[in-house]
Amino acid sequence: MINKHLKENQIQQRKLIKGLIIRYGEIPFVLKAVFICGAVEQKWTKEEIDQVLNEACGDGYKHFIGVLRSYSDKHHKNK
């Protein structure tokens, strides 16, 4: 229960990239590039970018899309 609460707080406090649109069906390499460009434009650190990409990679395409969308103001649930 505590871990779930901590994870929810992290999601609420995460930085969002303005204007980032992640389309389902797009090639992962392209989505990665779009995410990185948006993050760099908004002055994210290399460590922040790497942390998101590490979180996104490894559990399949749907997980990858979900993680990237969770860092987009266009897809974020708590607008």
Residue 11 inside a domain? The answer is yes
Q: Which domain holds residue 11?
A: 2-70
Please state the rounded mean pLDDT for residues 5-28.
Answer: 76
Residue 57 inside a domain? The answer is yes
Residue 77 inside a domain? The answer is no
Higher pLDDT, 77 or 58: 58
Residue 48 inside a domain? The answer is yes
- As a whole-number percent, the residues of the chain with pLDDT over 90 amount to 68
Number of domains composing the chain: 1
Q: pTM for the full model?
A: 0.77
- pLDDT for the residue numbered 14: 78
- pLDDT for the residue numbered 40: 97
Long-range contacts of the stretch 17-24 (C-beta < 8 A, 24+):
17/42, 17/44, 17/71, 17/72, 17/73, 18/42, 18/73, 19/73, 19/74, 20/68, 20/71, 20/72, 20/73, 20/74, 20/75, 21/72, 21/74, 21/75, 22/65, 22/68, 22/69, 22/72, 22/75, 24/65
Residue 78 inside a domain? The answer is no
